[in-house]
Chains A and B, each alone.
Chain A
């Protein structure tokens, strides 16, 4: 028995090494078959030969707690890719898109990036979440691969010259929110409830608090919660109420916002509410939530699913048809990211047979010259530091729909 055990362990060890080596060899083959399943749209075109398609890789969480965001990014990009391919591709080249799961984890995100590299990705649309995105920027920098993140909003997500983003950065949102409230004289005493364990939320809050010193309002309470206790907000709300806040600023996601609104209503506290793009999705994104509570909530968001312009209408219709749900801001950002990639490729004239590094250099230069009209903003332009220039739109919820302020 002992002998057998030893034999077994040696056999397993050698098998393991062989498996590691074997997958190295066969990975290209299996990855190629995987692609077909991932993007039926691209596989439909007869562009299997390398050098005649642009391969765009997407990264985001499609499993786990943050899957909502990753799936939105995946679906948004898939719709854009489909449209582009149907319209004849980019400069006549078809586009292939493949999305890899990163579980919103930095280490897994790097793995996902490496898997995409093995597949032959030339351009990266990702990562979806900030922490994961920062880890991937390091790798794309090493390989000099063009990377545009639809939703990585931390400052460091665009730390290198090959990184760009579609969404606002966290400090930008905090700054814009504070300025908007100050300029329009919306409130005098403000309470903030934010998620201190979340990069997005604490990033916005910090800049908001800094800018508040220059604005004619005062922050009377700043209450934090963490990802581990985000179901009961009565303490935070009571403190805000006791401090006499006439407005509560919520730089958080809509799931928690829904709970806060419900609990505030239950305790008879009715301040004005102001929020950022994380609030987008509250109309219809939460089960068992009384949407009438959102009446009068103000938010800064670049995307509203019920806007009436043709682009938004057609995107929302397609999205609903294909995935059976209303797209959120992440989907819109990702959709725009693909069109930004298209614009940059067209401007620079790069072709799929060029090396990854050459494509990146060409697109990098083109990024500062292009102007894109997308779902999340008209006339978006980029600076070399990777930030998008677009005006934040303030909307107020009236009769269960967004209305421009």
Chain B
């Protein structure tokens, strides 16, 4: 019995190690190539977004794959993380705070606020199931985006001024600075993100999510996913565990938002970056990578972010090709016939191997 559990531990441990190793190996290889000057500026510019989307995919996988609830408002949490942290960085930009510490604080703030919102949204919403939860989270994401679009915040010597109409209503003194300008969002966020920070954050995210999954709490969460009634009957506190997974997932999305906001000098809440399109994009990463498969999420997010950029040579056809690739990948991964075929091929692969072994 002991041996068996040992073996099992080893297996998950090895599995996790592969995931961490994959990320670290990608980091080391990219760093070497960058320092050797073998990487185009396009790819260099994509390194931070890749980390951002990988974190998003992993965090959503916690909700969709492990908790088993469909959330379509993930971009909303990212938006909260992005705006709160960019706001903080912008306010603190000209103070004595060193940029490293400032970014660290921004990260905590982004994660905290996104987490709090996750908790607040989660309390009423997680009583819903299936489609209803999807609808409410979808609405939540849109509400956040629209609220940010009408929010004006200024800072002068009298403190903060907030308005929901326009900058004139802020009644600021002459030398005041408008920090959030409604639709224009926040401009001039300091550039604090880089590839190394992105990878470290991705590893931290992986560490949190993987450890949660393999912990007692994680097993409780998965039990809820598999059979709520059975889980409840053995005394698992459903609301607590649901909220836990949901708010951790939201906080991690907030971290991705922080990374996103500090990579670009302008932050606007458009349908494109924080709307439901984005939420669905993240969901596509998760579904393609395999629901519940953390490593798959990372790989899918990297491939799907890189693909449209690498197809730039095809001009306007790239989006067409991209969507075709998406469909093909979806079929390859999930169509029953395709899975059957893959198993057949794998079996042949295996049998050949075993024949070889026997021959030896």
Contacts and interface: CB of A to CB of B under 8 A. Distances in A.
A209 B166 contact: yes
Nearest to B272: A105
B130 interface: no
A138 B30 CA distance: 24
A24 B271 contact: no
Interface string B41-73: 111111001000000000000000000000000
Contacts of A134: 187, 265-266
B166 A203 contact: no
Interface in A1-38: 1, 3-4, 6, 9-10, 12-13, 16-17, 19-21, 23-25, 27-28, 30-31, 33-34, 37-38
A106 interface: yes
A106 B149 contact: no
Nearest to A110: B45
Contact of B183 (A27, A118, A198): A198
Contact of A107 (B25, B146, B273): B273
A154 interface: yes
Number of chain A interface residues as a range: 35 or more
A16 B168 contact: no
Contacts of A38: 315
B26 A17 contact: yes
Contacts of B270: 104-105, 131
Contacts of A111: 42, 45-46, 49, 309
Given A100-B312, A105-B272, A138-B265, A23 B40 contact: yes
A226 B148 CA distance: 12
Given A4-B349, A24-B38, A111-B309, A197 B183 contact: yes
A118 B343 contact: no
B33 A196 contact: no
A223 B271 CA distance: 22
Interface stretch (B112-120, B236-244, B299-307): B299-307
Contacts of A30: 313
B264 interface: yes
Contacts of A10: 18, 22
A21 B310 CA distance: 12
A114 B18 contact: no
Contacts of B264: 106-107, 110, 135, 138
Nearest to A227: B271
A174 B192 CA distance: 35
Interface string B284-318: 00000000000110010011001001101111101
Interface in A98-144: 100-101, 103-107, 110-115, 117-118, 130-131, 134-135, 137-139
Contacts of A209: 166, 168
A107 B263 CA distance: 9
Contacts, number: 165
Contacts of A329: none
A138 B191 contact: yes
A68 to B, nearest CB: 14
- Where chain A touches its partner, the secondary structure class is helix
Interface string A172-191: 00000000000000000000
A20 B299 CA distance: 13
Contacts of B263: 107
A13 B41 CA distance: 22
A18 to B, nearest CB: 9
A37 B315 contact: yes
A202 interface: yes
A242 interface: no
Given A37-B315, A110-B45, A199 B268 contact: yes
Contacts of A21: 29-30, 33, 38-39
A37 B33 CA distance: 30
Given A196-B149, A196-B150, A227-B271, A118 B40 contact: yes
Contacts of B303: 16
A16 B41 contact: no
Contacts of A137: 265
B312 A34 contact: yes
Given A33-B313, A202-B184, A203-B184, A135 B266 contact: yes
B72 to A, nearest CB: 16
A118 B41 contact: yes
Contact of A20 (B43, B182, B267, B268): B43
A210 interface: yes
Contacts of B168: 206, 209-210
B321 interface: no
Given A24-B33, A101-B312, 4 more contacts: A1-B343, A114-B44, A131-B268, A206-B168
22 contacts: A4-B349, A10-B22, A19-B310, A20-B30, A20-B306, A21-B29, A21-B39, A24-B38, A27-B42, A34-B315, A62-B315, A100-B312, A105-B272, A111-B49, A114-B44, A115-B42, A118-B41, A156-B266, A159-B188, A195-B183, A202-B182, A202-B183
> What 4 A-B pairs have minimum CB-CB distances, sorted nearest first?
A24-B39, A34-B313, A114-B45, A138-B265
Interface of B: 18, 22, 25-26, 29-30, 33, 38-46, 49, 142, 146, 149-150, 166-168, 182-185, 187-188, 191, 260, 263-268, 270-273, 295-296, 299, 302-303, 306, 309-310, 312-316, 318-319, 343, 346, 349-350
